[in-house]
C-alpha cells in the first residue's frame, strides 16, 4: 500500500495514497480515510477532553485517525480496533510514529465489545451503526459516540430500510435531517433501556451526509424510565405546514387544526434536548485554543447549536414564504420579530434556511410579511 502523510488537528498520520485527480471510488481504498469527516472527529476530541473517560475504544478504526487524535490530543488511554488486518498494519504504523500509548486489536467489534469494558465506546461504521449499538451499550462504562452515514434510511428516503434498522417510521419532510437525528437517538435510548441504562445527550448533530451522537449513559432503572419518557412523535400535516410534537410512548391520532387533514406521525423519536449546555459551553471554550481539522465548520456548528431552540422540528423559511405566497425578507428579521413577540426562535445547525420556533403558524406568517 502506497502511503501519504496527512495532518488533521494536531495529529499527523499515514493514509493510503490518493491521486487527487483520480480519487479512489467510494469503498475501494485499501484502508478507509475520509478528510471530509474531520469535523466529526474534531467534535469527538472536544467531547473526550470535556468528559475525560478512563479509557476510549475506537471500535472501527480503519486508518486509526479518530483513536490517534483522541490519544494524541487528550490524556485518555486509547484502544484502536478493526477486523481488517491491513487496517491493523496501518494503525500500528500510525500509533508508533505518533509515540502514543495505544492498544491495537484486530477483532470483530461486536465480539470485542461483548467481552471488554471501556469508559467511552465509539462506533463509526460504514453506513448504519444499528448492528453494533447493543454490544456498545453493554461495553461502555459511561460514554457512547455513534456515527451513522445511512442518511437515506434515517431520513425517510428509504422508508422500509429505516423501519427495519431503527424500528421507527421516518418521514421525508423539509426537516428530515432533524427526524433522522432524533430517530437514531430514540433507537439508542430504547436499546439502553433494555439494560436499565438511561441516556443523556451531550452533543448530537447532523452534518452533510452523517449524524453524530455523543451520549452519557447512566445505569439505573429510573434513568432508563426517564429516557423512555423523552420518546415521542412529530405529527406532520400532509396538506399544510402545520406540525406538532408529542411526548408520548404510543402516538395519538390527530387532525390538523388548520385544514382538517389527518396528521402523519413520525417516530418514535427522541423529543428531549440534544445537547448538554454545560458540555457545549466547555467545548466552545476549549475550541478557542484547539487546533481543529475543520476550524471554520467547527466554530459555526458550535455557535449555531448553542443558540438552537430545543424543539424537535423546524420550518424551511423559503417553503413557508412559498406556501403563504410571500417573499420573505432576511431570516434574522423574521427571528427578531418572533422574539419581540415573546416566542423562542433561532436557526438550525443543519440548514441555512431552517428556523425553529414555538410560535404558532399564524404568528410566523404575520412576521414573514415585510
CA angle, residues 124, 125, 130, in degrees to nearest 5: 100
Cell numbers standing for residue 49: 477532553
Q: Cα–Cα distance between 286 and 282 in angstroms, integer?
A: 6
**Closer by beta carbon to ligand SAM, 135 or else 283:** 135
Determine how many CB atoms are found less than 10 A away from the CB of residue 276.
19
> What does the alpha-carbon distance between residue 348 and residue 356 come to, in Å, rounded to a whole number?
7
Q: Does 65 bind ligand SAM (CB under 6 A)?
A: yes
Q: How many residues are present in the chain?
A: 370
Q: Does 109 bind ligand SAM (CB under 6 A)?
A: yes
Window 126 to 155, contacts with ligand SAM (CB under 6 A): 126
Least CB distance from residue 192 to ligand SAM, whole Å? 20
66 in a labelled binding site: yes
By the rule CB under 6 A, 317 interacts with ligand SAM: no
Q: Judged by CB under 6 A, does residue 367 bind ligand SAM?
A: no
- Least Å from the CB of residue 159 to ligand SAM: 24
**Stretch binding ligand SAM (CB under 6 A), from 57-65, 180-188, 197-205, 325-333:** 57-65
Of 18, 43, 15, nearest in space to 124 by CA: 43
Under rule CB under 6 A, which residues in 69-108 are in contact with ligand SAM?
Answer: 82-84, 87, 108
**How open is the CA angle 125-58-224, to the nearest 5 degrees?**
80
Site string for ligand SAM, 17-56 (x = CB under 6 A): ---------------xx---x---x---------------
CB under 8 Å, gap of 24 or more: what pairs does 256-259 form? 258/361
Residue 259 in marked binding region: yes
Q: Which is nearer to ligand SAM, 125 or 186 (CB)?
A: 125
The distance of closest approach from Cβ of residue 121 to ligand SAM in the complex, given in angstroms and rounded to an integer, is 13
- Contact (CB, 8 A) for 314 and 351: yes
d(CA 119, CA 266): 33
340 is in an annotated binding site: no
CA pair distance 100, 171, nearest whole angstrom: 44
Q: Closest by alpha carbon to 62, among 97, 35, 42, 43?
A: 35
C-alpha cell of residue 69? 487524535
Helix (H) or strand (E) segment spanning residue 1: none
Distance in Å, CB of 131 to ligand SAM, minimum: 8
Q: Of the two residues 34 and 200, which places its CB atom closer to ligand SAM in the complex? A: 34
60 binds ligand SAM, rule: CB under 6 A: yes
Q: Where is the binding site, in residues?
A: 41, 66, 82, 108-109, 237, 240, 256, 259
What residues make contact with ligand SAM under the rule CB under 6 A?
A: 32-33, 37, 41, 60-63, 65-66, 82-84, 87, 108-109, 124-126
Q: Where is the binding site for S-adenosyl-L-methionine, in residues?
A: 41, 66, 82, 108-109
Amino acid at each position: 500500500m502506497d502511503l501519504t502523510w496527512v495532518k488533521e488537528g494536531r495529529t499527523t498520520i499515514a493514509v493510503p495514497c490518493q491521486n487527487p485527480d483520480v480519487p479512489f471510488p467510494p469503498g475501494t481504498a485499501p484502508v478507509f480515510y475520509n478528510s471530509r469527516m474531520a469535523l466529526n472527529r474534531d467534535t469527538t476530541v472536544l467531547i473526550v477532553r470535556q468528559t475525560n473517560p478512563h479509557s476510549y475504544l475506537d471500535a472501527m478504526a480503519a486508518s486509526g485517525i479518530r483513536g490517534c487524535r483522541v490519544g494524541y490530543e487528550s490524556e485518555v488511554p486509547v484502544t484502536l480496533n478493526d477486523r481488517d488486518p491491513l487496517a491493523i498494519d496501518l494503525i500500528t504504523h500510525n500509533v508508533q510514529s505518533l509515540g502514543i500509548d495505544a492498544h491495537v486489536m484486530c477483532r470483530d467489534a461486536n465480539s470485542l465489545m461483548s467481552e471488554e469494558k471501556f469508559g467511552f465506546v465509539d462506533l463509526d461504521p460504514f453506513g448504519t451503526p444499528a448492528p453494533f449499538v447493543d454490544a456498545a451499550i453493554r461495553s461502555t462504562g459511561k460514554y457512547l459516540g455513534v456515527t451513522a452515514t445511512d442518511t437515506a434510511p434515517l431520513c425517510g428516503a428509504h422508508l422500509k430500510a429505516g423501519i427495519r434498522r431503527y424500528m421507527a417510521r421516518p418521514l421525508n419532510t423539509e426537516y428530515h435531517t432533524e427526524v433522522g437525528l432524533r430517530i437514531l437517538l430514540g433507537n439508542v435510548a430504547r436499546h439502553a433501556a433494555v439494560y436499565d441504562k438511561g441516556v443523556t445527550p451531550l452533543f448530537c448533530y447532523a452534518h452533510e451526509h452523517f449524524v453524530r451522537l455523543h451520549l452519557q449513559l447512566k445505569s439505573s432503572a429510573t434513568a432508563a424510565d426517564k429516557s423512555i419518557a423523552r420518546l415521542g412523535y412529530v405529527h406532520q400535516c400532509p396538506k399544510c405546514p402545520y406540525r406538532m410534537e408529542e411526548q408520548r410512548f404510543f402516538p395519538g391520532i390527530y387532525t390538523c387544526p388548520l385544514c382538517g387533514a389527518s396528521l402523519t406521525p413520525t417516530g418514535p423519536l427522541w423529543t428531549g434536548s440534544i445537547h448538554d449546555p454545560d458540555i457545549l459551553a466547555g467545548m466552545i471554550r476549549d475550541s478557542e485554543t484547539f487546533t481543529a481539522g475543520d476550524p471554520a465548520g467547527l466554530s459555526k456548528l458550535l455557535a449555531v447549536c448553542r443558540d438552537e431552540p430545543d424543539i424537535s422540528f423546524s420550518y424551511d423559511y423559503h417553503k413557508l414564504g412559498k406556501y403563504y405566497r410571500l417573499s420573505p425578507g432576511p431570516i434574522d428579521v423574521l427571528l427578531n420579530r418572533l422574539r419581540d413577540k415573546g416566542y423562542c426562535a433561532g436557526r438550525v445547525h443543519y440548514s441555512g434556511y431552517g428556523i425553529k420556533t414555538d410560535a404558532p403558524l399564524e404568528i410566523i406568517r404575520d412576521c414573514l410579511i415585510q
